[in-house]
A and B are shown apart, each in its own frame.
Chain A
């Protein structure tokens, strides 16, 4: 069976510090991978998606970036965090683009 992992589960970072969130998927090959952000009281916002190694599509302009160094690894990064980057970050995978997605447990990021 497939499983998706995210870490860390929670993170508190000062403004201007770097960020690296990691997501890995097990039990499947060549998954489509997604990063979402969920701000307090808001819906899910798609940030990035990837259909393969090294292939990243950005949905919204921001100071975040994503990378996919391995088939089942997806990383969300920032060089300098902003207060507005606080939120709940969810990684998801699907067999095909825009198919039903399976979500990871999420990372709660608080930028202070």
Chain B
């Protein structure tokens, strides 16, 4: 079964600290993987997209990594800011019908 699992479910960190969010998937075949940021009550916004051949991609203080062999991805946030407080959603495109499969997200709270 094609699934996308994220951990932790929720995370609280202090402003200025770094954190890493995890995404494990069982989707096969694999097309690409996206990380979205969703502010409370808003629609998700794309942060990064990676294909099979890419193992790292950065977008400002956000750096995503992909290990297609172990089917794991991580999103690293550097020097966190209060505005980083949001849900972070991992989405994998793939499977027999090449659909988008969404993870349940990690809720990040950055405290001053």
CA distance A43 to B103 in the complex (A): 6
The size bracket of the interface on B is 10 to 19
Residues in A58-112 with C-beta less than 8 Å from chain B: 88, 90, 92, 98, 100-106, 108
State the main secondary structure of chain B at its contact with A: strand
Known: A43-B89, A44-B89, A100-B49. A106 touches B42 (CB 8 A): yes
The size bracket of the interface on A is 10 to 19
In the assembled complex, B43 has its CB within 8 A of some CB on chain A: yes
* Chain B positions within 8 Å of A98 at CB level: 31, 93, 98-100
- Check if A101 sits within 8 Å of B41, measured CB to CB: no
- Check if A106 sits within 8 Å of B46, measured CB to CB: no
In the assembled complex, B62 has its CB within 8 A of some CB on chain A: no
CA distance A10 to B19 in the complex (A): 33
- Check if B100 sits within 8 Å of A42, measured CB to CB: no
CA distance A3 to B93 in the complex (A): 23
Residues in B18-70 with C-beta less than 8 Å from chain A: 31-32, 34, 41-46, 49
Question: Which 10 residue pairs are nearest across A and B when measured between Cβ atoms?
Answer: A103-B43, A43-B104, A44-B102, A43-B102, A103-B44, A106-B43, A104-B43, A90-B43, A105-B43, A98-B100
